[in-house]
Structure 1
Amino acid sequence: MARIKVERPSQEKLRKLGVESWPIWEKDVSEFDWYYDEKEVCYLLQGEVEVKTNEETVKFGAGDLVTFPEGLECSWKITKPVKKHYKLGQ
């Protein structure tokens, strides 16, 4: 099973990906289950999140670039309100 990838990208990498043109999603402190029917890459502008799968628990926050693989089932726990750019597919 593919895993969640968390990295601290350079400003150059963010520019190359075109992150600033991606849509923005915001969510308050909450917990919910989620299924990725396609790959998602997101860049957190603010917030803190803990995502649990059957294989791992991953924590990430503002400044992290996170890749969720297609087919991933997980539970989100948002501990600080989130604002993120995101891109689906590919």
Structure 2
Amino acid sequence: MMMGMKILMLSLEIIVSIISVDCFTTLKQQARIQPLALLHGFPRAIHTEFTVEKATPEMMESLGVKKWPTWGTEGSDKYKTGVMSPLKWYDVNELSYIISGKVEITPKDTGKPVLVQAGDFVTFPDGFPCYWFVIEPVVKHYYLYD
């Protein structure tokens, strides 16, 4: 995966150096800073720390949330309803919109659980260690970026 991203980045740099138009220069700068965001479009960082907030229609529309891929805990060997699961530390930033379900997310540093449920917009920063306690199976739209 990382090799593919490096090849993609190299390809982008070649294209940008050949066609030096402002919009391509911007693309190159954004891609260099946020290569994983190319999986889902351009980076749209909202927060730099773990946050949970109610999503607004304006937020959903401006971020194109409904076009993001989905993921769920249902059928996962790792996430069982009613069981606390340590989450591998995030190695990229993630924005998530919770479509359905309910989970308590406990940051390792504070130990204070935060309830996350349908309609919430969540930012998981790179390197964020936490535990998930799934109350109801979760389905979410997600967006990854560096």
TM-score (norm 1): 0.89
Q: How does 1:1-90 map to 2 (within 5 A)?
A: 3-28=49-74, 29=81, 30-34=83-87, 35-53=89-107, 54-55=109-110, 56-90=112-146
**Identity, % of aligned positions:** 37
Q: Output the amino acid matched with 2:95.
A: V
Backbone CA RMSD of aligned residues: 1.4
Is the CA contact 2:55–2:97 (under 8 Å) kept in the aligned structure 1? no
| Distance of 1:44 and 1:83 partners within structure 2 | 6
Is there any run of 5+ residues in structure 1 with no aligned partner, and where?
none
| Distance of 1:80 and 1:10 partners within structure 2 | 22
| Distance of 1:50 and 1:58 partners within structure 2 | 5
Structure 1 stretches of at least 4 aligned residues deviating more than 3 Å after TM superposition: none
Bigger radius of gyration among the two: 2
- Structure that is richer in strand per residue: 1
SS at 1:65 equivalent: strand
* Residue 3 (structure 1) shift: 3.9
* Deviation by residue 1:12-62 (Cα, 9 ceiling, x = unmatched): 110100100100001132432111011111001100010112213211100
Is there any run of 5+ residues in structure 2 with no aligned partner, and where?
1-47, 75-80
Q: Which has the higher contact order (CA 8 A, sep 6+)?
A: 1
